[in-house]
Amino acid sequence: MNKRGFASDNNAGVHPQILEAMAACNQGHAIGYGDDVYTKAALEKFKTLFGTDTETYFVFTGTAANVLGITSALRSFNSVICAETAHIHVDECGAPEKFSGCKLLSVATTDGKLTPESIKQHLHGFDFEHHSQPGLVSITQVTEMGTLYTVEEIKAIADLVHSHGMYLHLDGARIANAAVALNSDFKSFTRDAGVDILSFGGTKNGMMYGEAIVFLNPALAENFKYLRKQGMQLASKMRYIGAQFNAYFEDDLWKKSASHANAMAGLLAEKLSHIKGVKITQPVQANGVFVILPRETIASLQKKYFFYIWNEARAEVRLMASFDTTKDDVLDFCRLLEAKMQNATSR
């Protein structure tokens, strides 16, 4: 039996209904590279969700969705503005720079969220050939700090971005958790708020692999199929990605999974908040809890539960809940923490 934990929502497995759908499509032959009924149905679903004039493409990973989405909108002399904590800036090993040739300009934040004001520091040098031309702002929803943008906050950023002829990209690796947290459909805080390109993730919410790039601004999708292939992201047996997304949307499975994950994070935060000597450092708005633990408890806690230290210097850890996190996981973790803290004190 595998160990359980709060390390990442991608440490969870695949939701059984999704796995079943993958098995169900495993019959006979299907034309490769997306020309199959499962993929077509899934793409149709994205049109239903975001509008018939949007264009969606499947790739393998969230990094690929981000990088190829950015590349499709920009030329190499453009720059990309993002939070200092953005996945594209700190967790993709320079893939955006390598593939797009663009410069990334980061913005320091306390909560992972950009604001029009903080973006403006990089909005200069337009038309000046020595300077990378600001071309796109990328935000993450839910952010890497577990926080949420409101619809209004996204709109304000979109307005600023568009007023400079730039594009807005949203990294939605945890978009389902955001939708649930905002009690919203997907479209309201993306397309309707002015987002041009959306990386739509499912892997962190119960899928096996496969992410979607949704061109809410369909002009940016022109020629994207070539970029996807050149970006080494064209799946030959694509039906298995299509089948996953079909199951993901069927009967709002995505919503049930994300709601559960968010609820478990909420429960965890609630329980932790009652433990003296523990400090929650970010608003818990979706499925992540950032918390400072007594330093001496961390290593021994990790023996039973996977989780990552976020900030070594201040003993801050990140705890992620997923679709399969149980109430028992949460309660047992808190009990264990309290026990460790007592041990430490009594020593």
Instruction: Say which amino acid occupies 292.
Output: I
CA angle 221, 226, 232 (to 5 degrees): 115
Q: How far is the CB of 10 from a copy of itself (least distance, A)?
A: 4
β-strand 288-292 against 279-280: which pairing, if any? antiparallel
Alpha carbon distance 99, 284 (integer Å): 34
Q: How far is the CB of 50 from a copy of itself (least distance, A)?
A: 22
Where does residue 216 fall: left (phi above 0), alpha (psi -120 to 50 degrees), or beta otherwise? alpha
Q: Is 203 in the site for a copy of itself (CB under 8 A)?
A: yes
Residues from 12 through 41 that contact a copy of itself (CB under 8 A): 12-14, 16, 19, 22-23, 25-33, 36-37
147 versus 203: smaller Cβ distance to a copy of itself: 203
CA angle 234, 63, 124 (to 5 degrees): 120
Using CB under 8 A as the binding criterion, the count of chain residues that bind a copy of itself stands at 81
Binding window for a copy of itself (CB under 8 A); candidates: 43-51, 84-92, 151-159, 281-289: 84-92
Q: Is 205 in the site for a copy of itself (CB under 8 A)?
A: no
- Contact code string over 215-234 relative to a copy of itself, x by CB under 8 A: --------x-xxxxxxxxxx
Binding window for a copy of itself (CB under 8 A); candidates: 74-82, 250-258, 264-272, 273-281: 74-82
How distant, in Å, are the alpha carbons of 16, 65, 282, 307 from that of 22? 10, 22, 37, 29
Residues from 256 through 315 that contact a copy of itself (CB under 8 A): 306
Report the residue from 46, 167, 186, 240 that binds a copy of itself according to the rule CB under 8 A: 240
Output the DSSP codes for 190-231. TTTTT-SEEEE--GGGT-SS-EEEEESSGGGGTTHHHHHHHT
Task: State the burial class of residue 301 (Cβ atoms within 10 Å of its Cβ: 0-12, 13-18, 19+).
Answer: buried
Report the residue from 47, 155, 162, 237 that binds a copy of itself according to the rule CB under 8 A: 237
Q: Is 101 in the site for a copy of itself (CB under 8 A)?
A: yes
For helices 253-273 and 175-182, angle between their N-to-C axes, nearest 10 degrees: 70
Q: Is 99 in the site for a copy of itself (CB under 8 A)?
A: yes
Q: How far is the CB of 19 from a copy of itself (least distance, A)?
A: 6
